[in-house]
Amino acid sequence: MIIRPRPHGWQLLYILRGSIVPAVAPKVVAILLLSIAVAALAELWHPPGIERVSVAPFTLLGLVLSIFLSFRNNACFERWWEGRKLWGQLIYESRSLARLCQALLVDDPALRDRVCRLCIGFAHALAARLRGRDMALAALPWVPEADRARFGQRLNAPDQLLAMIAADLAQALRAGQLDSYLYTQFETRLHALSSIQAGCERILTTPLPFAYTLLLHRCAWLFCVLLPFGLASSLGWATPVVSAVLAYAFFGLDQLGEEMEEPFGLESNDLPLDAMVRTVEIDLLDSLGVQPLPEPLQPRQYLLQ
């Protein structure tokens, strides 16, 4: 995620970090070159019939295309925002679990420490799962030494960590160290964490319908390629400028939708999962009284991951 002050003045013209310009530049340059060729053809050779080409059909096509792009971008932003809400909920549930441990496991500091550290491991493992990394390796530093030999044998490491927490609490319940009502409070927090994982996996494994995305790609290219032929007779040598600006707008909206469609990746506008995992780590270690605490992650060249 890009974290920087709002640009103003001349900054709007040259800022590239976090912009979609590098991604769409080859497409815009291709349309610009095509527009120059079409404008030169219309101005220098005057082929018969070029003046009959009207810009009216492109106005209608551009209007329809902009509506469809706005619908797609709204859907992609909803996925991005839902992912952010789920991770905000994860931070909240982790803090709630730590607060329960601090209040209800006063007589068993070892269990309190184990539950909080496994919860931190869950956040690390979930982030690794969403970004295609090694889940077991990401969570291993937070797994107790006695359990590391059997940890990672399951395919779903985050769920295994939640199961380990539930098993520890169930053992305390059977030993009479934890009341059944209090155990239910812990189970509610674990259920919420499992629900958050399922929600993130739903976003990850359910992209927007491919046919809809393909239609927009084709229409954007069709519009931008044919537009110079409709503008050349009326705009002349100004055709390349107008065509390039419109190509930047349409290709840029399309590219921005693609980036927001997968909010857990490593693109500039994706969610800062590593920074949010560090937040969970700091808060839970702080509840255990660990010192010194790790530092919050800071943006590097305006990029926070």
Asked whether the beta carbons of 230 and 53 are under 8 A apart, the reply is: yes
Can you tell me which residue has the tokens 């007589």? 107
- For residue 23, the model assigns a pLDDT of 83
Hey, is 121 helix, strand or coil?
Answer: helix
Nearest alpha-carbon partner for 254 in 293, 223, 290, 295:
223
- Cα separation of 252 and 21, whole Å? 7
Supply the pLDDT for residue 14. 63
Q: What is the mean pLDDT of the chain?
A: 86
pLDDT at 240: 87
Please write the tens of the pLDDT for every residue from 71-111.
Answer: 888 889 999 999 999 999 999 999 999 999 888 887 888 89
- With a cut of 70, which residues of the chain have pLDDT below it? 4-5, 7-16, 18, 46-56
**CA dist 137 → 125, 130, 152, 265, 297 (Å):** 8, 14, 8, 19, 20
Report the percent of the chain where pLDDT is more than 90: 35
In the Cβ-directed half-sphere of 256, how many Cα atoms lie within 13 Å? 18
Residue 48, pLDDT score: 60
CA-to-CA separations, 17 to 22, 23, 88, 262, 301, in angstroms, rounded: 9, 11, 26, 19, 8
> CA 129, 131, 133, 139 torsion: positive or negative?
negative
- Amino acid 257: pLDDT: 85
Both tokens assigned to 158: 């985050």
Contacts of 107 (CB under 8 A, 6+ apart): 177
Residue 113's H or E segment, with its range, is helix 109-130
pLDDT of 107 reads: 80
Residue 46 is predicted with a pLDDT of 67
Q: How many H helices and E strands in the chain?
A: 10, 0
Per-residue model confidence (pLDDT) at position 94 = 95
Please answer whether residues 248 and 22 qualify as being in contact, where contact means their C-beta atoms are separated by less than 8 angstroms. no
Query: What is the DSSP track for 221-250?
Result: HHHHHHHHHHHHHHHGGGHHHHHHHHHHHH
Rounded to two decimals, the pTM is 0.88
